[in-house]
Amino acid sequence: MKLSLIGTGYMGFPMSEKLLEAGHELAVFNRTIEKARKLESKGAVVCSSIIEAVSLSDTILLMLTDYQAIKALLDQIELNSLSGKSILMMGTISPKESMLLRDQLSGYNVDYSEAPVLGSIPQIIDKSLIVLFGGSKQQLQNHKKIFTAFSGKTEYIGEVGEASKMKLALNHLIVGITTVFATSLGYIRENKLNVDQFMEIVRKSALYAPTYDKKLQNYLDRNFDNPNFPLKHLLKDVNLMIESFSENAINVHQLNGIQKILIDGINAGLGDADYSALYNVIHKK
């Protein structure tokens, strides 16, 4: 397939590699072009403008940070030029924002759907990302071949907006589990209790989640380099959760506390570190 991927950051770059490995023709664009340049040697066409990138294919994948980044790029395009094309929004934005994009683009005969993903760089590499699809079942059928390049499972959630809701609910579990475990571990260490014994008890109980062991060494070493997902992006997602959950009459007091932890982490210079760096805010050195 001829594809264009916009946004070759943390997730977009390895996704581009997988699409090329799968034999797709790929044009890429990134606002900082240096981040896309390495894909040239792998067979991608690196575009110097968003206009060039969307002109080279009929299916455009958006892997951008947030709704504002998407709007900023769309504002550079004559939307009439997108007529007849498909746009797949694969980042994490609010359900309301996704529906706004659908409504705006449908007026220009653009086939819009959403496909946010659950997982990070290791899951892209081993093709185990979970794709959450929002749109029609026919749209999913049209795009399914794309997802197999980096995903082993595609879940049809419902119409546009529904997949974004599911993604926020799942990301809430990520930030909740991470914050709670970091707090318990910090308490164990501060009181000089045996971490191995603590983990042994947890692993044999209903309290266990695999992410505890996945991040444990990072906490113990206070090493949060080489992020799978940066802390600043998690704050963006928490802000979306607070807004969307509040609109649905869900109490967000605990999210307000987590938001403050993440803001403190960014103010401490941890914004580009792995999201598990929130441990350094919860349990200071």
Residue 34 clears pLDDT 90, i.e. is over it? no
Q: How confident is the model at residue 256 (pLDDT cuts 50, 70, 90)?
A: very high
Task: Please give the average per-residue pLDDT across 92-112, as a whole number.
Answer: 97
The stretch 8-29 carries a mean pLDDT of 96
Reported as a single tens digit per residue, the pLDDT across 210-243 is 999 999 999 999 999 989 899 999 999 999 999 9
Q: What is the pLDDT of residue 163?
A: 98
Question: For the chain, what percent of residues have pLDDT higher than 90?
Answer: 96
- Residue 133 pLDDT > 90: yes
Residues ≥6 apart with Cβ < 8 Å to 161: 95, 96, 98, 99, 102, 114, 134
Distance, first Cα to last Cα, the chain: 51
Closest CA relative to residue 97, chosen from 123, 120, 126, 64: 64
Q: Which two tokens stand for residue 82?
A: 């997108």
Q: Distance from CA of residue 112 to its chain's centroid?
A: 18
Task: Tell me the mean pLDDT in the region 162-174.
Answer: 98
Mean pLDDT, residues 115-126 taken together: 95
Instruction: Tell me the pLDDT band of 35, cut-offs 50, 70 and 90.
Output: confident
For the chain, give the number of residues: 285
The β-bridge partners of 46 are 28
Q: pTM for this structure? A: 0.94
Examine the pLDDT at 157 and tell me if it is beyond 90: yes
Report all structural domains of the chain as residue ranges with CATH numbers, in order of start: 2-159 (3.40.50.720), 165-282 (1.10.1040.10)
The share of the chain scoring above pLDDT 70, in percent, equals 100
